Amino acid sequence: MSYLSLSLNTAASSVENPLKSSSAASLAFDVAGLVLDIAEGFSVVLDPREERVVASTRKQLLLDATTGIEITQPYNNLAQETTWRIRWNGTGSNPNFRTRRALMVSNTTTVNVLRLNDTVARIQFSVAIGSNPKINDVLLFEKENDLGLVSPFNPVNQGVPARIVGVGTNYLDVDDAGVLVNESNILLGVNYLDVLKVFSSIGVQITDVLKISSSAFNYGNRGTYKVIFVSSDYIDIEAPSLVPEIVSGITEGFQVFTNSIYYFALKAKGQLQLIVDEKVLDLSTLGDTAIFAGAITCSEIIVRNLSDGNLAVEGLWCASGLNGTAC
């Protein structure tokens, strides 16, 4: 079977062995040795000059035109000078990087941290905490920072996301891989909503990719960045230098992707282009009917109809993940 093989990532691209196919009765390929989370087929008919997303690992954020986003530097030290925080500033709709679970605590609530064994610790509260926390949620003692947050907890316990494995009336058991140390009668105090958080494990993940392209942001802040830490109302990214700012009115151009599309294939009869993470690949030279198959590392693929007539495109894409779906 004739095919065009693509090897491409977000930094550079290369096209290997482009071949032309004059006819194709079917589209088939085999992906061996990959653990896949998504395997999706698509079949679309594009209007003349239309372009459409056919494969994407974009995360669903809840931000809208009212959402306030702040870009700031949480730690003023050389060791973390490339860490920048993208946080909801409390204005408008929460973008929900992770879904926060409300706890029935107050500024007078005290907390104990008690090791149960080598891998599990119990977080004991002086009050009933309610029914919102769930198994597999994340508990986090927020790390003290230079944005005004002062934590009452031992520095060893700060900034360590721990998976909840047990829920009681007034306690949460967490799998922390043995990191947390014992503490007694820690008063949550005035920052009780900020120093201890429980939130969903689903949502933006470490190693996801943040893409900022909206003109609402300073030009120097637009770009593609790796997510290195996640909480319920902020994500930390790695960047050499950004411009601190507060932005609102964002409806497009602020997106988070799982950078993990690994295989993509299509067939089409007509003139088309692929846009792979904003890189354009012209397939119009492949003939009247072309097969495209590519081993790819990217976040989103768009097909664009170059012709003056309708264009039927069908294909399949796979993304690596945790659930072991076969492709």
Query: What confidence tens digit (pLDDT) does each residue in 264-299 have?
Result: 888 888 888 899 887 898 887 666 666 778 777 788
Spell out the residues 6+ positions from residue 325 whose beta carbon is closer than 8 angstroms to its own.
36, 37, 38, 39
* Res. 11 pLDDT band, cuts 50 70 90: very low
Mean pLDDT of the chain: 84
Give the phi and the psi of residue 193 in degrees, each rounded to 5: -80, -15
Q: CA-to-CA distance for 170 and 274, rounded, in angstroms?
A: 54
In the prediction, which pLDDT does 18 show? 30
Contact 266, 236 (CB under 8 A): no
Mean pLDDT of 10-30: 32
Query: What confidence tens digit (pLDDT) does each residue in 46-97 have?
Result: 999 999 999 999 998 998 999 999 999 999 887 788 999 999 999 999 999 9
In the prediction, which pLDDT does 317 show? 87
In the prediction, which pLDDT does 251 show? 80
Cβ atoms within 10 A of the Cβ of 250, count?
Answer: 22
In the prediction, which pLDDT does 19 show? 28
Look up the pTM and report it: 0.79
Query: What confidence tens digit (pLDDT) does each residue in 126-170 have?
Result: 999 999 999 999 999 999 999 999 999 999 999 999 999 999 999
**C-alpha distance from residue 197 to each of 90, 106, 129, 161, 255 (Å):** 16, 13, 12, 10, 24
In the prediction, which pLDDT does 294 show? 77
Nearest Cα residue to 244 out of 76, 78, 79, 94: 76
In the prediction, which pLDDT does 297 show? 79
Q: Give the containing element (helix H, strand E) for 123.
A: strand 120-125
In the prediction, which pLDDT does 290 show? 64
Query: What confidence tens digit (pLDDT) does each residue in 99-124 have?
Result: 999 999 999 999 999 999 999 999 99
Region of residue 326 (left: phi > 0; alpha: psi -120 to 50; beta: else): beta
Residue-range domains of the chain with CATH:
5-57+259-320 (2.60.120.10), 98-203 (no CATH)
In the chain, % of residues over pLDDT 70: 83
In the prediction, which pLDDT does 278 show? 79
* Res. 23 pLDDT band, cuts 50 70 90: very low
Mean pLDDT of 10-14: 28
Q: CA-to-CA distance for 284 and 298, rounded, in angstroms?
A: 22
